[in-house]
Amino acid sequence: MTAAGADPRADALATPQRERARSIRAVVDGSESRPVEGCSDCARLDRQMTCAQRVFDYSGAVDARVLLRRHHAGAHR
């Protein structure tokens, strides 16, 4: 449904922006940093991130989190 006077193509034109906003929300709420149940790669990266956090290796924890997000983007979308 479009507002009076609004361009009906605006929804189609805004699709990439909406997709970007959705992916940003996923990062902000942390859903891309959580392992998917049953996925061995997610479990391995989550263990790597947890171990790094326990020994205060923040660089290693960030690296593992980035790898987990990349894995999510490629394997779970």
pLDDT band with cut points at 50, 70 and 90 for residue 73? confident
Count the domains in the chain.
Answer: 1
Q: Is residue 77 part of a domain?
A: yes
Whether the full predicted model's pTM is greater than 0.75, yes or no, is: no
Which range marks the domain in which residue 51 is found?
39-77
For residue 33, tell me if it sits in a domain.
Answer: no
> Per the domain annotation, does 65 fall within a domain?
yes
**Is 34 a domain residue?**
no
| 30 occurs within a structural domain | no
The pLDDT value recorded for residue 17 is 73
| Chain segment 11-45, per-residue pLDDT in tens | 555 677 777 776 666 665 665 667 888 999 999 99
Q: In what helix (H) or strand (E) does residue 72 lie, and over which residues does it extend? A: helix 58-75
Tens digits of per-residue pLDDT, 49-63? 999 999 999 899 989
